[in-house]
Amino acid sequence: QVRLQESGPGLVKPSQTLSLMCTVSGGSVSFGHHYWNWIRQPAGKGLEWIGRMYTSGFTTYNPSLKTRVTISPDASKNQFSLELTSVTAADTAVYYCAREWDDSSGPYFDSWGQGTLVTVSS
């Protein structure tokens, strides 16, 4: 059973960079055929996919955030990270990391972290 756990600062100042880490246990970020994703949810609102990283390190981002987002692996620690630059209050949200699994029924997010709240405020 794979487990994911987000970590990082809960408060970020406007215009600064939001940095989060996702620690994976029971699976590998650098082996297998999975995508490792970041998804966020503003309070009381729906889910927004931020981007993903394949086990090879290849990344794909949501075009709406592409100019500000970087997702990268740390294979030595079995982690992957999210960096979001030039944040504003609109980036305040619960941030989730999640694995996308692909089987005969197609791709789906089968494992999620518990989520971490990041507030952008001075």
Chain positions contacting other proteins, by CB under 8 A? 37, 46-49, 60, 62-64, 96, 98, 100, 103-110, 112-115
**Can you tell me which residue has the tokens 């994911």?**
4
Q: Which of 38, 63, 41 is nearest to 51 (CA)?
A: 38
What's the closest the beta carbon of residue 97 comes to other proteins, in angstroms?
10
What's the closest the beta carbon of residue 78 comes to other proteins, in angstroms?
20
Distant-in-sequence, close-in-space partners of 113: CB < 8 Å, separation ≥ 6 = 4, 5, 6, 22, 96, 97, 98
Judged by beta carbon, residue 63 or residue 90, the one nearer other proteins is: 63
What's the closest the beta carbon of residue 13 comes to other proteins, in angstroms?
26
Judged by beta carbon, residue 10 or residue 46, the one nearer other proteins is: 46
Judged by beta carbon, residue 37 or residue 55, the one nearer other proteins is: 37
Distant-in-sequence, close-in-space partners of 36: CB < 8 Å, separation ≥ 6 = 22, 24, 29, 52, 53, 54, 55, 71, 73, 80, 97, 98, 99, 100
What's the closest the beta carbon of residue 39 comes to other proteins, in angstroms?
8
Judged by beta carbon, residue 16 or residue 94, the one nearer other proteins is: 94
